[in-house]
Amino acid sequence: MSTNTGTRTHCFTTCSSPARGNAAPLGTGTGGWDRHRRRGRGGGTHPCWGWCLLPRAPRTARSCRRLRGGGVSGARGTTVRPPPPPRALPPRSAELRPSPRLTESGLSMVDWHLVKGMKPPRTQREWEAEFRKYQQFPEFKILNRDMTLAEFKFIWYMEYSHRMWGRLVGLAYIVPAAYFWRKGWLSRPMKGCVLALCGLVCFQGLLGWYMVKSGLEEKPDSYDIPRVSQYRLAAHLGSALVLYSASLWTGLSLLLPQHKLPETHQLLRLRRFAHGTTALIFLTALSGAFVAGLDAGLVYNSFPKMGERWIPDDLLAFSPVLKNIFENPTTVQFDHRVLGIASVSAITALYLFSRKVPLPRRARIAVTSLLAVACLQVGLGISTLLLYVPTPLAATHQSGSLALLSTALWLLSELRRAPK
Ligand code: HEM
């Protein structure tokens, strides 16, 4: 299954457009990476213009991806369709999109105030002032120089709705918690739980702003397009997953009646196996944040091989070697594939093992659902890769990881030990 045969479909992180057909293929070692970055610098404000076939006009990474989706096949150097006129993010493409990162709108609001930040600009003058603030930052200077005020309003509102949604989620935790606490409806352990959850919600908000700040910093020595740090993105996603998992677990523990399972040796092994598999799913999802943060889904768009190889030769291109795991897009994509396949294999093994253990009906449904969601999630991941990360598919894959984690937690809750 493969959509291209080239060594590497795309330039490294700096550009999400196809590598030039007649240029030496990238990804053939450190040389490709260095050469790419040097040329990019010489090519203009877009760090990749030395290589890519796109017009010398600012565009966002994702609008580049759209062009690719439209049939550009740079890796083979064959048909190259002339791209449509460049636009930053056309308002006409305003489908409902869940993630600021996926819509490239996350850096449109350049400051953060808990209360003041709730009031959007109202008059033309306020909007112009807000736009002028955005123009001081690298995303505008490097990527969106031709952005109009109308286009800015669109990405601004996308980010604004994400931040307002965050505030609403915070209130949905804090207000009922305060009310239940006052009424004396919370047991002592539940008070601890509620405090921890509310603390995590606040931490999530702060981490979000800390992440955004990394995308606003000027990096004069960097040739990359402005983006948030992949480390902070992973921390933000990781903490969101922890908050989500803790909330779901608390809810399931309260709502699902527990089974009185006989504590056999087999059940103990199954429970341990299920815990390990859930941890693996969590790690896979976290590694997905690095793929997303580095746009590493665009370096090799073939499956199961990466280009023509099972193990790409630029896997350890960075030095020191450890740096590759978090900063080399090839390695990051490779790791995510391996972890994804390992997760689905572990889930299949868990399913097969669970058939040997006498389980109540609900636990059986949970383990079967886990296998089904895992297959769907891997299918979505592979499709996202082969189709060059179209936004709706990438967003569905992102949601799929939550569905998978939720099903795994449900299974754990079905298998949990009954209190003595
Ligand atoms: C258990 C299996 C998997 C899980 C839980 C998982 C989870 C994730 C998560 C959480 C992200 C980050 C999404 C975002 O923040 O936008 C991601 C990204 C991605 N995953 Fe997976 N994934 C799995 C398997 C796979 C597989 C097998 C492939 C392909 C071979 C794949 C390809 C991708 C790609 C291309 C992206 C980047 C999408 C983007 O740039 O928005 N995934 N994955």
Per residue in 178-192, pLDDT tens? 999 999 999 999 999
> What is the pLDDT, as a whole number, of residue 63?
37
> What is the pLDDT, as a whole number, of residue 108?
77
CA distance 33 to 18: 14
Of 144, 40, 154, which is closest to residue 86 (Cα–Cα)? Answer: 144
- Mean pLDDT value of segment 142-148: 84
CA distance 251 to 263: 24
Helices 391-415, 361-386: crossing angle, 10 deg rounding: 160
Q: Which of 227, 282, 301, 397 to mutate to test ligand 1, by most ligand atoms within 8 A of the CB atom?
A: 397
- Mean pLDDT value of segment 58-87: 32
- CA 410 to centroid of ligand 1, rounded, Å: 21
Could you please report the per-residue DSSP string of 203-254? HHHHHHHHHHHHHHS--TT--SPS---HHHHHHHHHHHHHHHHHHHHHHHHH
AA identity, residue 105: S
Token pair for residue 168? 């609403």
398 lines ligand 1 (CB under 6 A): yes
Using the predicted structure, report yes or no on whether residue 126 has a pLDDT greater than 70. Answer: yes
Using the predicted structure, report yes or no on whether residue 67 has a pLDDT greater than 90. Answer: no
391 lines ligand 1 (CB under 6 A): no
- Mean pLDDT value of segment 391-417: 96
How open is the CA angle 292-11-225, to the nearest 5 degrees?
60
> What is the pLDDT, as a whole number, of residue 78?
28
Token pair for residue 320? 């020191």
Residue 302 neighbours by CB under 8 Å, 6+ apart: 1, 2, 3, 4, 5, 9, 385, 386
Give bridge partners of residue 302 from the DSSP assignment: 2
In this structure, are residues 295 and 3 in contact, taking their beta carbons and an 8 Å threshold?
no
Using the predicted structure, report yes or no on whether residue 145 has a pLDDT greater than 50. Answer: yes
- CA 288 to centroid of ligand 1, rounded, Å: 5
Ligand 1, atom 8, lies closest to the CA of: 288
240 lines ligand 1 (CB under 6 A): no
pLDDT averaged over every residue in the chain: 78
- CA 290 to centroid of ligand 1, rounded, Å: 9
* Least confident among 94-103, 142-151, 245-254, 311-320: 94-103
Three-state secondary structure call for residue 392: helix
CA distance 405 to 410: 9
pLDDT, one tens digit per residue, over 329-384 is: 999 999 999 999 999 999 999 999 999 999 999 999 999 999 999 999 999 999 99
More confident residue, 400 or 96: 400
- CA 339 to centroid of ligand 1, rounded, Å: 10
15 lines ligand 1 (CB under 6 A): no
The number of residues in the chain equals 420
Could you please report the per-residue DSSP string of 156-181? HHHHHHHHHHHHHHHHHHHHHHHHHH
User: Confidence class of residue 28 from pLDDT cuts 50, 70 and 90?
Assistant: very low
> What is the pLDDT, as a whole number, of residue 226?
73
* Least confident among 135-149, 155-169, 174-188, 193-207: 135-149
Using the predicted structure, report yes or no on whether residue 387 has a pLDDT greater than 50. Answer: yes
Burial label for 418, CB within 10 Å (0-12, 13-18, 19+), is exposed
Using the predicted structure, report yes or no on whether residue 79 has a pLDDT greater than 60. Answer: no
Residue 210 neighbours by CB under 8 Å, 6+ apart: 232
Q: Where are the domains of the chain?
A: 2-80, 89-228, 229-420
pTM score of the predicted model: 0.76
AA identity, residue 412: L
